[in-house]
Amino acid sequence: MLLGAHVSISGAIHLAVDRASQLGCTTFQIFTRNPRGWTYTKLKQSEVQEFVRKFREAGYTVAMAHMPYLPNIASPKKLIYEKSVKSLVAELERCGLLGIDLLVVHIGSHLGEGIEKGIENVAKAVNTALDKVENNVKILLENMAGQRNSCGSRFEDIAQILSKIKNRSRVGVCLDTCHLYAAGYDIKNHAAVEATLSKFDEIVGLEKLYAVHLNDSKGGLGSGLDRHEHIGKGYIGDEGFKAFINHPSIRDKPMVIETPEDEAGDYSTDLRKLRSLYQA
């Protein structure tokens, strides 16, 4: 089971590997830099070498990086869009240096300019970044939670973006369970999971699914609320997660939690729950 958490790089980027190992993770996700700003420092060669050394010695085969919070590759605002594309290019380069093969990207918001405009911008951003960076890193478009003006909450939107990508071998999808549920795709039980993943296969194609974010939802079905909850404590529940993570198209994918760490529990709590639901 490729199961892990989004771990901190605080102190040094290679410490993320230690934190993942301490949690018993078999995969993990990181930000390669401070996610709350536009500026960043270049990775030092010594940092990269130590990350790669620890990654290999710990026996990891796959990890993900996540784009910072500020970029919006669907934005109609010229300055924000250009900065967002620049960030995407930089993250592709940084992932290549670190040996991280999967880069998760929020599809973003069209800010009221219309879904078609947003989809065009996303596809253009991805094409530009892939043209500029030649490596083995795949961009994974993360489904959105149905927020107002969001692009990529519907499978049809994701399929439309993918149809406009020139180098499709380097682009795939990361499905977030909270976002799925909030956007109106039911995964509360076996039948619902089957129906939703069949729909995804029909519209997007399960062969484009490379990774999964496992988060329960504080909002109800179709709420449009992107609020993560502990596994089994939200509207999706234990039954839904058991059906989802054991589905043939999901169970061998890298799965990462981005759940809260509060008085109700932490990463260890949620990883333990998911391991108990996984059927060997």
**β 216-217/228-229 pair status:** antiparallel
Catalytic status, residue 142:
yes
The answer to whether 230 is a known catalytic residue is no
Question: pLDDT, tens digit, for every residue of 121-130?
Answer: 999 999 999 9
What is the distance between the alpha carbons of residues 166 and 107, in angstroms, rounded to a whole number? 17
pLDDT one-digit tens code per residue, 243-270: 999 999 999 999 999 999 999 999 999 9
- The reply, when asked if residue 110 is annotated as ligand binding, is no
Active site residue 228: yes
Is position 176 annotated as part of the catalytic site?
yes
pLDDT score for 24: 98
156 is annotated as contributing to ligand binding:
no
Listed as ranges, residues in the chain with pLDDT below 50 are: none
The reply to whether the predicted model has a pTM over 0.85 is: yes
pLDDT at 280 (0 to 100): 76
What is d(CA 228, CA 226) in angstroms, rounded to the nearest whole number? 6
State the catalytic residue, choosing from 69, 116, 134, 156: 69
- pLDDT value for 54: 98
In the Cβ-directed half-sphere of 194, how many Cα atoms lie within 13 Å?
Answer: 3
Residues in the chain: 280
pLDDT of residue 171: 98
SS3 4: strand
Q: What are phi and psi for residue 25, nearest 5 degrees?
A: -70, 145
Q: Is 179 annotated for ligand binding?
A: yes
Q: What class has domain 3-10+53-277?
A: alpha beta
Q: Is 14 a catalytic residue?
A: no
pLDDT at 137: 98
What's the pLDDT at 191? 98
> Known binder of ligand: residue 213?
yes
pLDDT, residue 155, reads: 98
Residue 141 CA to residue 72 CA, distance in Å, equals 12
Which H helix or E strand runs over 174?
strand 171-176
Residue 265, Cβ neighbours under 10 Å: how many? 17
What is the per-residue pLDDT for 18?
98
Q: Identify the pLDDT of residue 173.
A: 98
